[in-house]
Amino acid sequence: MPEIMIPRPPLSELEGKAQWLALLLLAIGLHLFEAALPSLGPWFKPGLANLVTLLVLVMMGPRAAIALAIGRVLIGSFFIGTLFTPTFVISMAGGLAAAVMMIVAWRYIPGISLIGISLLGALAHMLAQFVTVESLFIQQSALYYALPPLLLLSCITGWINGALARYISARLTHEI
Amino acid sequence: MLMLLKGSRADRLLLLAALVAITASWFVIQSQISAGPAVAEIYHGQVLLATYPLPQKGEAEQGFQIEGELGATEVVLDQDGVRIVSSPCTTQHCVHSGAHRHAGDIIACVPNRILISIRGQSASEFDAIVE
């Protein structure tokens, strides 16, 4: 009886996938870490998981970044136990909005560095959370009263995460 | 180390634009909602359920229940402002967020679709300065 052998994909093909997967696992880990942090309220997290989205965007392109954002929220909420709850919907909207915003900024804004991209991503994330809650759960514009101070905090974390992302990517490409 | 935090020219322009827009909207919002005495507005989804004045110094605290999507949310109004003391939701973010009394503060319980928003000038703000 002939044995069935499936041809194995060449290593070069697996390499990119393995890198993406490693970064996905890192993003999931950071997602869980941030969920466990004593936070400044449910609206605010440092956004370290979005930092990985940004790294994937500049290392592997827009498709990989979007896939990572979706995969991270989906699998992350498996572990936290929030799958398909409002928390999950809000995380997903925020993560996707940040990814899309960062892709647009990366592609179309001349002279922008990872810091500016991360800044815009953080702002988009915060705005998307509020728009999602306002349109799906609590249809009151009074929600937006709380937005400006949170957006100011987003500016700070977005900037710092961008600087971290730039440092990490420089180390990865042996520039420093 | 600080060199790491230095953005490009485009980055700094974006930051400046964001800061100006955020600060301007903050002023506009504050000027619209800080007039009049301090009240807590309580919403469920699209509906304004009630508006309560925040208790002044020496006034008794009051507690009541609001029916939300999942069940009853218990709210207490006292000298410290308004807070949610118990909620049927699993996250309990609304309970942990504590007491609020400044115009523009909100307490939101998304799973139960409850929102408490504070408008108006709080008379007890002087205490906060003395503290």
Residue B131, pLDDT > 50, answer: no
Question: Which chain B residues are Cβ-neighbours of A120 within 8 angstroms?
Answer: 14
Q: What's the CATH code, domain B39-119? A: 2.60.320.10
pLDDT at A8: 86
pLDDT at B58: 82
> Any CB–CB contact under 8 A between A83 and chain B?
no
Residue A20, pLDDT > 80, answer: yes
Return the top range by mean pLDDT from A1-15, B19-33, B83-97: B19-33
Minimum mean pLDDT range among A56-65, B20-29, B105-114: B105-114
CA distance A131 to B46: 14
CA distance A138 to B47: 9
Cβ–Cβ < 8 Å for A68, A103: no
> Any CB–CB contact under 8 A between A131 and chain B?
no
Q: What are the tokens at A106?
A: 């990366």
Q: How many residues does chain A have?
A: 176
Whether B11 and A115 lie within 8 Å, measured CB to CB: yes
CA distance B42 to B23: 27
Q: What are the tokens at B20?
A: 């100006």
Question: Which chain A residues are Cβ-neighbours of B113 within 8 angstroms?
Answer: 137-138
Question: Which chain A residues are Cβ-neighbours of B4 within 8 angstroms?
Answer: 163, 166-167
Whether A155 and B19 lie within 8 Å, measured CB to CB: yes
Minimum mean pLDDT range among A11-15, A88-92, A130-134: A11-15
The whole-chain average pLDDT of chain B stands at: 88
pLDDT at B126: 47
Whether B106 and A120 lie within 8 Å, measured CB to CB: no
Q: How many CB pairs under 8 A join A and B?
A: 109
Question: Which chain B residues are Cβ-neighbours of A140 within 8 angstroms?
Answer: 43, 46, 115, 117
In chain A, count of helices (H) and strands (E)? 6, 0
CA distance A151 to A142: 16
What stretches of A42-113 show up as alpha helix (H) in DSSP?
48-60, 62-80, 86-108
Enumerate residues 6+ apart whose C-beta is below 8 A from B21: none
Q: In the predicted model, what is the mean pLDDT of residues A20-40?
A: 90
Sole residue written with tokens 């919002």:
B29
Kindly list the domain boundaries of chain B, sorted by start residue: 39-119
pLDDT at A106: 97
CA distance A36 to chain B (A): 12
* β-pair partners for A118: none
Question: What is the predicted ipTM?
Answer: 0.90
pLDDT at B127: 46
Q: In the predicted model, what is the mean pLDDT of residues B74-103?
A: 91
> Any CB–CB contact under 8 A between A138 and chain B?
yes
Q: Using alpha carbons, select from A41, A47, A96 the residue that is nearest to residue A73.
A: A96
Cα–chain-centroid distance for residue A171?
A: 20
